[in-house]
Amino acid sequence: MDFLKQLAMLLRMNLLGVPQHLGLACTTVIGVTCAVGVLVSMLAMGVGARREAMGNVRPDRVSVLSVDAAGLSQSNIPPDVAALIGDLPGIRRNASGQPIAVPQAMVFVLARRNDSGSLVGFPLTGAGAGLADYAPELHLTAGRMFRPGLLELVASNTCAHQYQHFRVGDTRLIQGVEWLVVGNFDLGRSNGRCGAYTDANTVLSAFGRSSYNDVNVVLQSPAAFDEFVNAIRGNRLLHVRVEHEAELAADDVRQVNGILIFVSYFVGAILAVAATIGSANSLYAMVDSRRRELTTLRAVGFSGAPVIAATLLEAILLAIPGALIGAGLAWLFFNGLTASPLGFSFHLAVTPYLAALGIGWALGMGVLGGLLPAVRAARMPVTVALRAK
């Protein structure tokens, strides 16, 4: 009880003294603001990239790949195998009673950027019948859907905005033949990348291929996953494996995200160290300026522990506003901003989780910065300090 009473009094004294040392107090606040602001803004890139990739992911959608493929591009599913997959149990059926199992063949084709004129690869995905059932988030904003068997494609609006010859009515030369762009679409919550769809068999014949990359399946429910996998295991004709859509999407951004997260924490940590040092320095000065008060209190019976606790609490109370301001500024300036630091663009996302993370870092900076000054405050030799002016 004594401890709490003493702590409350010391804290009150410390905080009432803050206006007299406004500059010193602001050192902590501004240092933490900068460190947290930078950390949160940079992590917001990673969160944004992940959100972009995972935006449309649904737990009931899975992809069937060949068993040895490390990823979609190495996977090979011949048409006869694709046909077998459609007959497996656990697959949802569309309005006309057909199973939603869409074979897909992906090729990378080059497109020219509007701004720089440089060539960049984009995925042209050939999809079998049932694309609309599999991906209801794909909705046309202009034109119409491609027709099977014809050299027609629909392109995302990202393509239409960033690259040449992707608007409805444009023709593109792919594999030496002219393709007609018949539609533009939005793709639900992930619109960052350029991608185009056409008929699967058109891709196979135009690119001289004999097999699809994978078969995309909508399950009756996420719980039907085991039933579906067991059916595949039980069929000796199928050398395939099943991946949740979420896993494939996460694989896609893992490398980019790894870099972003590493750089964010690296830079954030250096800034945090600088802020902690600055905070420690200003707290030392504040503690020194309160020598007489502190030693007087020690002389009348205050113990050391509350002195330490009060100084630490003061450091934390100064760091928290810094964190809030930093996270707030990051949100104000960068939330929703489009960035393309590593080749593809996405919106930065400053989430409550990131704000909480920032506050956590601020707590760390406060405690580490306050520790040494707090110990010094508690250890001041009473007689010497009282004798000094």
Partner 1 sequence: MKYLPLVWSGIWRKPVRTALIFLQVCVAFTLFGILQGMRIGMDRAIANTPADVLYVGPAVYGEPPLPIADLSRLQSIPGVNAVSFNYGMLTFYQKPTQAVYVLGIPPSDLMRTILPEEFIVQPEDLEALRKTPTGILITADIGRKYGWHIGDKIPLTSSTLQTNGSATWTFDIVGMATLNNRDEGIYVFANYYHIDEARALNKGTVGHFYAIASDPKQAATVSDAIDRAFANSASPTHTESFRDFAQEDLQSLGDLNFAILSILSAVLVALVFSTTTMMMQTVRERTPELAVLKTFGFGNRTVFLVIAAESLVVCIPASLAGLALAWITFPFAAKYIAGLSMPMVIVAFGILGAVLVAVISVSVPALRAARLNIVDALAER
Q: In the complex with partner 1, which residue's Cβ is closer, 86 or 364?
A: 364
Question: Please, which residues bridge with residue 243 across strands?
Answer: 63
CB of 202 to partner 1, least distance (A): 14
Q: Which amino acid is at 365?
A: M
* Minimum distance of partner 1 from residue 313's CB (angstroms): 21
CB of 42 to partner 1, least distance (A): 7
Beta strands 61-66 and 240-244 are: antiparallel
Q: How far is the CB of 74 from partner 1 (least distance, A)?
A: 7
| 169 Ramachandran zone, left/alpha/beta (phi>0; psi -120 to 50) | left
Q: Which is nearer to partner 1, 219 or 377 (CB)?
A: 377
Cβ 253 to partner 1, closest distance in Å? 15
* Residues at the site binding partner 1, with contacts judged by CB under 8 A: 23-24, 26-27, 30-31, 33-35, 37-38, 41-42, 68, 70, 73-74, 107-110, 116, 118-121, 174-176, 207-209, 259, 267, 270-271, 273-275, 277-278, 280-282, 284-285, 339-343
- Indicate the pairing of strand 214-218 with strand 61-66: antiparallel
What is the C-alpha to C-alpha distance for residues 110 and 120, in angstroms, rounded to an integer?
5
In this complex, which beta carbon is closest to partner 1, that of residue 100 or of residue 106?
Answer: 106
Please, which residue, 207 or 265, has the CB nearer to partner 1? 207
| Min CB(310)–partner 1 separation in Å | 21
**Euclidean distance between CA atoms 246 and 229, whole angstroms:** 16
Would you say 8 or 110 has its CB closer to partner 1? 110
CB atoms within 10 A of CB 266: 11
> Hunting for tokens 């630490």 — which residue is that?
312
Minimum distance of partner 1 from residue 330's CB (angstroms): 11
- Smallest separation, CB 374 to partner 1 (Å): 14
Would strands 338-339 and 61-66 be described as parallel, antiparallel, or unpaired?
A: unpaired
Going by their DSSP bridges, the two strands 177-187 and 152-156 should be labelled as: parallel
Which lies closer to partner 1 via its Cβ, residue 6 or residue 76? 76
Of 159 and 217, which CB lies nearer to partner 1 in the complex structure?
159
Whether residue 203 contacts residue 209, with contact meaning beta carbons closer than 8 Å, is answered with yes
Minimum gap (Å) between residue 109 Cβ and partner 1: 6
CB-nearer residue toward partner 1: 115 or 226: 115
Please identify, using beta-carbon distances, which residue of 144 and 239 lies nearer to partner 1: 239
CA distances from 149 to 129, 134, 371 (A): 12, 20, 72
